[in-house]
């Protein structure tokens, strides 16, 4: 059978909605400067869908440095992979400053966070080793696990009893193979906003021999006393053997890094296939990241404003009776009962009649019958934005509960 024909006959769980949803619910085009209010299909919307946590994406100092670095270096420099010809003192400076920021000895840069995590797992493990991971781990971690040729053990989300059970099984396995154990989880789970039980896993290190990898994409820059993430917040940063962060969230750019002891970072430097065989991060990005990191360290008020908005939004939604799950981070999931069809009506109503843009998540990403609206507060939102959004969500929830959305076809939706 022709492989293209085979795939085109089954677009997959999300692709089956492509004809209906493309350009509006999926692959929407947000336009204009990255800020609280942007343009969607020619109309201004209050945007709650960008991981610009600290508001650095359109910060005037950041924009100035980005422009100056692009003018000075161009987007091509340095050419080549880091190991061959793409290395610079600025790449090293950024690594050193990132390591200091997250309280580790050394760090190494990635061109993309996703490929960086996959490559890190691949570089650390061989077929004799065992990998243990949280069931709700990000797709990049799952894909890294799929590459692993040895044993894989999955524990129920944040369930330390099950985690210990898997550790026992993995320990028995590596006793036979002579391998080691890598345990990985997230610092902040980006869909529902709860933190990984890093403290619980750190306690297990007292009983079992394993190395601990944390993906803190949503935690770095947003939580912890100095913004060093979930490990700092939970008081176990020293127990994390490899700390992984991305630049696509609070840094408002692209790429990522891994930090840890000098010896293991040196090993990864010489064994990460995604970096050995890929072009180095362009200089304007590196210079821009140095500026962003500088602002993070010097302006804790950005994080304080973020949390003022987070706390006001989450408290206000809870007072209105909304279910936010167990989030204790800026990620704000609003969970409602409803069908996929009702979810499209609700989202359309929010965008067209209330001017609010947020991400919608439905089955198969969440269980059947659940609508998840994910709100990402940032430091550039105002308290007025927060209150307006709470009221709009309450209005739409009332329509959902009353059955109004269930009675509508998409084209029957009217815009006030």
- Residues 6 or more apart from 393 whose CB is under 8 A from it? 317, 320, 322, 334, 350, 373
**CA angle (52 as vertex; 98, 194 as ends), nearest 5:** 80
- Residues 6 or more apart from 249 whose CB is under 8 A from it? 51, 53, 217, 218, 220, 221, 222
In 3D space, the residue among 225, 223, 199, 229 whose CA is nearest the CA of residue 212 turns out to be 199
Local confidence pLDDT in tens for the 416 residues of the chain: 899 998 888 887 777 777 878 888 889 999 999 999 999 999 999 999 999 999 999 999 999 999 999 999 999 999 999 999 999 999 999 999 999 999 999 999 999 999 999 999 999 999 999 999 999 999 999 999 999 999 999 999 999 999 999 999 999 999 999 999 999 999 999 999 999 999 999 999 999 999 999 999 999 999 999 999 999 999 999 999 999 999 999 999 999 999 999 999 999 999 999 999 999 999 999 999 999 999 999 999 999 999 999 999 999 999 999 999 999 999 999 999 988 888 889 999 999 999 999 988 877 777 888 889 999 999 999 999 999 999 999 999 999 999 998 887 654 444 44
Residue 195 is predicted with a pLDDT of: 97
Contact 141, 184 (CB under 8 A): yes
Q: Please state, in angstroms and rounded to a whole number, the distance separating the CA atoms of residues 363 and 354.
A: 25
Alpha helices in 320-368 (DSSP H): 340-353
Classified as helix, coil or strand, 283 is: helix
Q: Please state, in angstroms and rounded to a whole number, the distance separating the CA atoms of residues 160 and 204.
A: 9
Buried b (16+ CB within 10 A) or exposed e, 215-252: bbbbbbbbbbeebbbbbbbbebbebbbbbbbbbbbbbb
Contact 254, 248 (CB under 8 A): yes
pLDDT in tens, 60-95: 999 999 999 999 999 999 999 999 999 999 999 999
In 3D space, the residue among 330, 353, 298 whose CA is nearest the CA of residue 189 turns out to be 330
Query: How many other CB atoms are there within 10 angstroms of residue 319's CB atom?
Result: 10
Residue 416 is predicted with a pLDDT of: 44
Contact 286, 294 (CB under 8 A): no
Find the length of the chain.
416
Q: Please state, in angstroms and rounded to a whole number, the distance separating the CA atoms of residues 247 and 228.
A: 13
Q: Which domains does the chain have, with CATH numbers?
A: 3-57+300-412 (3.90.1150.10), 78-281 (3.40.640.10)
Residue 410 is predicted with a pLDDT of: 52
């Amino acid at each position: 059978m022709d492989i293209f024909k085979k795939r085109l006959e089954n677009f997959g769980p999300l692709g089956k909605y492509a004809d209906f949803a493309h350009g509006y619910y999926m692959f929407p085009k947000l336009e204009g400067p990255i800020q609280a209010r942007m343009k969607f299909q020619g109309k201004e919307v209050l945007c709650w869908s960008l991981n610009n946590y600290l508001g650095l994406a359109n910060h005037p100092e950041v924009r100035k440095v980005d422009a100056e670095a692009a003018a000075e270096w161009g987007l091509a420099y340095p050419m080549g992979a880091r190991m061959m010809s793409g290395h610079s003192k600025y790449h090293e400076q950024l690594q050193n400053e990132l390591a200091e920021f997250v309280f580790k000895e050394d760090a190494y840069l990635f061109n993309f966070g996703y490929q960086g995590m996959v490559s890190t797992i691949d570089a650390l493990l061989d077929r004799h080793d065992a990998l243990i991971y949280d069931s709700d781990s990000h797709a990049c971690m799952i894909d890294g696990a799929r590459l692993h040729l040895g044993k894989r053990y999955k524990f129920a989300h944040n369930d330390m009893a099950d985690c210990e059970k898997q550790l026992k099984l993995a320990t028995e396995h590596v006793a036979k193979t002579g391998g080691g154990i890598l345990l990985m989880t997230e610092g902040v789970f980006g869909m529902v906003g709860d933190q990984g039980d890093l403290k619980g896993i750190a306690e297990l290190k007292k009983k079992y021999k394993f190395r601990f990898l944390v993906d803190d994409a949503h935690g770095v820059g947003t939580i912890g006393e100095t913004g060093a993430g979930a490990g700092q917040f939970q008081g176990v940063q020293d127990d994390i053997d490899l700390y992984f962060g991305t630049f696509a969230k609070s840094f408002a750019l692209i790429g990522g890094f891994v930090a840890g002891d000098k010896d293991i970072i040196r090993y990864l430097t010489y064994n990460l296939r995604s970096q050995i065989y890929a072009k180095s991060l362009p200089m304007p990005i590196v210079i821009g990241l140095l500026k962003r990191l500088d602002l993070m360290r010097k302006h804790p008020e950005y994080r304080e404003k973020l949390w003022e908005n987070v706390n006001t939004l989450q408290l206000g939604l809870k007072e209105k009776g909304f279910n936010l799950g167990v989030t204790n981070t800026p990620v704000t999931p609003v969970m409602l009962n409803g069908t996929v069809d009702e979810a499209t009506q609700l989202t359309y109503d929010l965008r067209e009649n209330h001017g609010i843009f947020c991400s919608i998540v439905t089955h198969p990403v969440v269980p059947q019958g659940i609508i998840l609206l994910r709100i990402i507060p940032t430091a550039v939102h105002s308290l007025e934005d927060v209150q307006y959004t709470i009221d709009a969500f309450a209005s739409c929830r009332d329509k959902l509960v009353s059955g109004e959305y269930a009675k509508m076809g998409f084209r029957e939706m009217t815009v006030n």
